[in-house]
Amino acid sequence: MKLHALTAVAVLGFCLTACSTVTTLENGDSQDVKVTTPPVKGALCMLSNTRGRWQVLTPGSANVLRSKDDLQITCRKPGWNEAVATNKSVRVIDSWDVSAVTIDASTGAGHQYTAEVELPMTPVAPAAPPPAAPAPAPKVN
């Protein structure tokens, strides 16, 4: 009787582990992140985390590798101030599943980022004109 109970527990544990592993792997270890920079189009954006670096011209998407670390985004375009943002990495799997935690630790598949990020850009302020030359002192007779 004890053998049957032990076998049932082992089978149940295997099924639960296998299901979570399949769910985690279906999500994959990468995802698309769309970046926009209103009111600017054509800004060059660098996305980076501990698993790599990706570039995108706005508006556009990059397929990034997921990580437990946040995704840093920096966008630049001549005549516009640099725009910087952090896309937080959010855990999306249950932490009690040992196999999912193992997969997550090696691939980052158990985390995800916000799918669309908006980084508003502002124009560079024009340079201040040089100070006017002082007026000549009046002549005293």
Does some domain include residue 131? no
Give the CB-side neighbour count of residue 11, counting CA atoms within 13 A: 6
Does some domain include residue 32? yes
Does some domain include residue 137? no
Does some domain include residue 68? yes
Main-chain phi, psi angles of 94, to 5 degrees: -75, 135
Cα of 133 vs its chain's centroid, Å: 51
> Mind listing the pLDDT tens digit for each residue in 2-11?
655 555 545 4
Does some domain include residue 10? yes
Domain count, the chain: 1
What per-residue confidence (pLDDT) applies to 50?
Answer: 96
Main-chain phi, psi angles of 134, to 5 degrees: -65, 145
Does some domain include residue 14? yes
> Mind listing the pLDDT tens digit for each residue in 93-125?
655 555 555 555 555 678 999 999 999 999 999
> Mind listing the pLDDT tens digit for each residue in 32-61?
999 999 999 999 999 999 999 999 999 999
Specify the 3-state DSSP secondary structure of 44: strand
Q: Decide if pLDDT at 17 tops 90.
A: no
Strands (E), 7-130: 30-36, 44-49, 52-57, 60-65, 71-76, 83-87, 90-91, 111-112, 116-118
Q: Which tokens hold the place of 43?
A: 């800004």
Closest CA to 33 of 50, 47, 16, 13: 47
Q: Which tokens hold the place of 50?
A: 């501990």
Does some domain include residue 91? yes
In this structure, the number of other CB atoms found within 10 A of the CB of residue 76 comes to 15
Does some domain include residue 80? yes
Q: Which domain holds residue 14?
A: 2-118
